[in-house]
Structure 1
Amino acid sequence: MYSSQRAAKAGPLHHRDFRLLLSGAAASQVGAQVTLVALPLVAVLQLKASAFEVGLLTAAETAAFLLIGLPAGAWVDRMRRLPLLIRADLVRAAAIGSVPAAALAGVLTMAQLYAVALVTGVATVFFDVAHQSFLPRVLGRDQLVAGNGALETVRSSAHVAGPGLGGGLVQLLGAPLAVAADALSYLVSACFLSRMRVAEPRPEAPSGTSLRAQVGEGLAFVLRHPILRMIAVSTAVANFFTAMLLAVQTVFLIRVLDLPPGVLGLMLSAEAVGGLAGAVCAGALARLVGQARVIWLSTLVTGPFAVLWPLAGPGRAAIWFAVASAAVFFGGVVYNVAQVSFRQMLCPDKLLGRMNATLRFMVWGTMPLGALAGGAVAQAAGPRAALWACAAGYLLVPLPLLLSPLRRMRDLPTAPHSSDPVHTHS
């Protein structure tokens, strides 16, 4: 008990279990960023995919949030979250590992890439919902902002190193073999998670409550809350246009700006540099201007930089793409730290899985649609036209937030909660 109290006062990094959670996140995030570069390059360089096929691949990666996002939350609330996290990592390792194996055998096809993207996406749905629902059991709720800030710092650091590493591995080994780094990273993550010792009781089986009714409880919690509802709308808009960007950026940088894979990786690292800065500054900015204000200010101030994406050109003019990415993703990470921490503080533990899954369904469910739209626009009018659409979309992101009660608040309200973290070691 004493060691847990001392760790709580000292900060989240003094919790042994949180350090393991953070280490697993670091391993998997680096690998995922390598794949962010390498998997589209497998399609573009080796399989000669069209712009629409690359968009379809991006859509397949996030389609699971739209297809199973809502019931996933109810399922997560019926299971212990730590074993679920480990199983999801192992499934992702096996799926991603099939790509280099098929490439070495000479049988790799776009159909397999679509299947890998779908399977990985399903595992990621369960992992992400369980991960956000698991953190309040690892840390006290008064440490969630610091904990989420640390996780965002690790994620953003991986985004800095991962794309550059991915581009280098593609040039050195070829795109299919570079993907193997991601499979290995998920295995490393599973090893870290398996060493955690958080006391997590098995959830009580729901009596007389159908899956549909449980899903409805999560939906009602989000839709009836005026702030959560507007956060969901704003994030859904942002993710739609982010998916458009992800669907066309590789085609734009390789075929329009004529960048080699190594330089492409460095260009994509720029967004992560901005994200890392946002993660480092998020807590201080929330204290300075207020946790409510920082949510809408972060998107209002940085969104207009998106117009620099389509203004990028060959040679030195490519730097405008990097500047836009750094600024937009700085604001995005500051926004995420503030609003995710608010969600975790507000929601009772028994509803965390369904609340997070509902929001994931609403905000990530737009991503496959955005990816398909990006691929279609790029195919019909060119990648630069798709980037102009992205820029216009980012200007809309703050509007739902400005129409919500957030505009008149400095700090966010919280609600009583019924769960505290239980540690066997700290």
Structure 2
Amino acid sequence: MTASATNTAQEPVSLWRDRNFTTFWSGQAVSQLGAQLGQLAFPVLAVTLLGASEFEVGALNAAGLAAFLVIGLPAGAWVDRWLKRRTMIVAGLVRTLAMATAPLLWWAGVLQIWHLYVVAAVVGAATVFFDVSYQSYVPVLVHAAKVAQANSKLEATSQIARIGGPAAGGALLTVVSAPVLFVGEAAGYLLSAIFLLRTRDAEQPVQAKDRQPLVSEIKEGLVFVIRHPLISRIAACTGGVNFFTTLAFTLMPVLVLRELELGPQGMGLIMAVGAVGGLLGAVSAPRFAAWIGEGTAIPVASMISSLFLVLVPLSVLAPERWMSLAMLIVSEFGFAFGVLVYNIMQLSMRQRVCPPRLLGRMNASIRFVVWGVMPIAALASGLFAENLGLVPTLWIGFAGSAVCIAPVLFSPLWGMRKLPDGIHGP
């Protein structure tokens, strides 16, 4: 019996004994490890080997995120029509081919910054379809009572990859060139597709007679998000925070590699040790929520992540280089802890209250808002840095993110011991 087939059973199967979930989980673990190598490879290649300016770094980040703004909404409607596992397999193969082109162009001696823009854009477009399918697939794969637990396990694995990936990438960069890391990410995407081929579920495609015009289906998803009293606040908070944190984090490679001269190893260390905070947040999210309340955990986690972000602009003022490194590590640790608790709780709530037929469109509508602002912020980051300066832009990022937690800070989530469970919301 598949996990999805047990959704109607009274006693849900343990996730450890659910072969389909463990296969899916294993594939994502490998994929995440490879993706973390690419997270380090892109900025290192652009800044240190191609000499990218602040604006070019911002444009590179924007290219990777632009698809969430351009095709995010229709992607959700398409994903609701398609089989989600098949969509993820195709997206994984597209990302594999795209990532493999960068090292080939480098070894041919013709790689230019615009090539990285194209690679980032193609990978970003495939990621839109993969991520919307991924967020909509967990309720298909596991029992409804196991959704939060499944999300916690998947996010914990992602954070473990964030610990090992940047550290391994930083170490590899002492003996190999940055383009080699692209091969690692391509391999991770390929192995993910193979594991997905071995995963089984009982999902059935939507019949053509049950479909509405594409615009109507997109509108239905958007209206659900806007009208839901909690999901709308989550979207507003996350969208605003993502805009201002992207404004700051787009410039992290410039800050670490050029301004503070901490090197690729320093950047890998910041990402890896900071990811320990994310791992702690991922594994402790259910207990943290049980302690202070599932609803209360969301605004509290948003405050934690915002407060730790202030250490990023403050790191420039440190008198010693090691102090700057320590401040950035602490900042990344605390920020990641807060973000992971926040993400796990709000994602689990969204999956529980959304009708299954709207999952793809709901997730795509959220992604359109909260990720669609990121390419705009990435471009703005480069422009602000070149006209206002690096440090003032970092301060703007911190101040803006602190203000944008207001929608969840002043909301019914405070004091809510149990998040709503059912399609009608709170």
TM-score class, shorter? over 0.9
- After TM superposition, the structure 1 stretch with the greater mean CA deviation from structure 2, 383-392 or 201-210, is 201-210
Mapped partners of 2:61, 2:182: distance in 1 = 15
Residue 405 of structure 1: CA displacement? Answer: 2.1
Query: Partner of 1:179: helix, strand, or coil?
Result: helix
CA contact (8 A) 1:58 1:246 kept: no
Q: Report the more deviating stretch, 330-339 or 290-299.
A: 290-299
- Counterpart of 1:407 in structure 2 is 414
Moved more, 200-209 or 153-162: 200-209
- The yes-or-no answer on 1:315 pairing with 2:321 is yes
1:122 and 1:337 map into 2 onto residues whose CA distance is 24
Please, what is the CA RMSD of the aligned residues? 1.8
Assess if the C-alpha contact under 8 Å between 1:7 and 1:15 holds in 2: no
For residues 392 and 96 of structure 1, do their structure 2 counterparts lie closer, same or farther at Cα, with a shift above 3 Å needed?
same
Letter in 1 for 2:167: G
Shift of 1:349: 0.9
Q: Deviations over 1:43-63 (max 9, x none)?
A: 111111101100110111111
Look up the match of 1:176. 179
Whole-angstrom CA distance in 1 between matches of 2:55 and 2:350: 36
Unaligned 5+ residue runs, structure 1? 418-426
> 1:73 deviation in Å?
0.5
What pairs with 1:55-74 in structure 2 (closer than 5 Å)?
A: 55-74=58-77
Q: Is the 8 A contact 2:163 2:276 kept in 1?
A: yes
Runs of 4+ in 1 over 4 A off after TM superposition: 1-10
- Given the alignment, which residue of 92, 102, 109 partners 2:95? 92
Q: Is the 8 A contact 1:299 1:397 kept in 2?
A: no
Provide the C-alpha distance between the structure 1 equivalents of 2:219 and 2:209, rounded to a whole number of angstroms: 14
Kept after mapping to 2: 8 A contact 1:293/1:411:
no
Q: 1:217: which partner in 2?
A: 220
Structure 2 distance, partners of 1:207, 1:306, is 47
Question: Offset of 1:396 from its aligned partner?
Answer: 1.8
Correspondence 1:274 to 2:299? no
Q: Which runs of 5+ in 2 are unaligned?
A: none
Note the C-alpha offset of 1:267: 1.3
In the alignment, the residues of structure 1 paired with residue 376 and residue 364 of structure 2 have an alpha-carbon distance, to the nearest angstrom, of: 18
CA distance in 2, matches of 1:166, 1:376: 29
Contact map agreement 1:219 1:355 (CA 8 A) in 2: yes
Q: 1:229 to 1:74 in 2, by over 3 A?
A: same
Matched, 1:347 2:347: no
Q: 2:229 corresponds to which letter in structure 1? A: P
Percent of aligned pairs with the same amino acid? 42
Q: Residue 335 of structure 1 corresponds to which residue in structure 2?
A: 342
Tell me, in whole angstroms, the C-alpha distance in 2 between the residues paired with 1:361 and 1:161: 30
Match of 1:45 among 45, 48, 51: 48
Residue type at the aligned position of 1:315: R
Task: Give 1:94's aligned amino acid.
Answer: L
Conserved in 2, the CA contact under 8 Å of 1:244 and 1:371? Answer: yes
Distance 2:11 2:56 in 1: 49
Task: Identify which range, 100-109 or 378-387, moves more after superposition.
Answer: 378-387
* 8 A contact 2:2–2:20 mirrored in 1: no
Tell me what 1:420 maps to: none
Per the TM alignment, residue 7 of structure 1 is displaced from its structure 2 partner at its CA by: 11
Query: Cα–Cα, structure 1 residues 97 and 400, in superposed 2: closer, same or farther, change >3 Å?
Result: same
Task: Report the CA distance between 1:217 and its aligned residue.
Answer: 0.3
Pair 1:191–1:8, CA change in 2 (3 A): farther
Q: Structure 2 length as normaliser, TM-score? A: 0.94
Shift of residue 178, structure 1, vs aligned partner:
1.7
Report the counterpart of residue 75 of structure 1 in structure 2.
Answer: 78
2:308 pairs with 1:286? no
Classify 1:320/1:193 alpha carbon distance in 2 versus 1 (closer, same or farther; 3 Å). same
- Give the alignment partner of residue 324 of structure 1, picking from 328, 331, 354: 331
Residue of structure 1 in register with 2:237 after alignment:
234
Question: What secondary structure sits across from 2:254 in the alignment?
Answer: helix
**1:293-344 deviation digits (Å, cap 9, x = unpaired):** 1011111234212111111145221210111111011000000000000000
1:251 — aligned with what? 254
* Amino acid across the alignment from 2:189: Y
Q: Which moved more, 1:350-359 or 1:171-180?
A: 171-180
Deviation string, structure 1 residues 169-215 (Cα, Å, up to 9, x no partner): 22221111221110011011111111012122122225572100000
Does the Cα contact within 8 Å between 2:257 and 2:263 map onto a contact in 1? Answer: yes
Deviation at 1:263, TM superposition (A): 2.1
For normalisation by structure 1, the TM-score amounts to 0.94
